[in-house]
Amino acid sequence: MRIWNVDPKLLCRQHILGEHLECHLFVGAINKGTSIKGYIKNGLVEVQNIKKRHDELANEMNNRGYNHKSPLQDYVSWEAGMVDIEQNIDILKNKCAKCKERIDGDLNINEIM
């Protein structure tokens, strides 16, 4: 699981839907008391920003005409995290041709970041 935290406009359909699902999975784990410390330690999630991130993803999904109908559950966590967005952009560009096309395409990444 990973929260990319890059501008949702840069994500292909697979990655935007996947990250949206992972927001729900992280909140579910937190609410069940399952430890996500490894994800936090490895910079894969900013727990304090999951709700904000979910809403950003849902907004972009709606802008693309996707049918978002899954509000995020409430959650409480005293842990925080830090995600390296620039590193994640590099990973996405190397991992996914569709994301690379969106990142390198018409979108000006300097304006987004």
* pTM for the whole structure: 0.85
Model confidence pLDDT, tens digit, residues 20-45 = 999 999 999 999 999 999 999 999 99
**Domain boundaries along the sequence of the chain:** 8-112
Model confidence pLDDT, tens digit, residues 83-109 = 999 999 999 999 999 999 999 986 555
Distances (CA, A) of 28 to 31, 35, 58, 106: 5, 11, 18, 36
Which of 1-5, 52-56, 106-110 bottoms out in mean pLDDT, i.e. has the lowest?
106-110
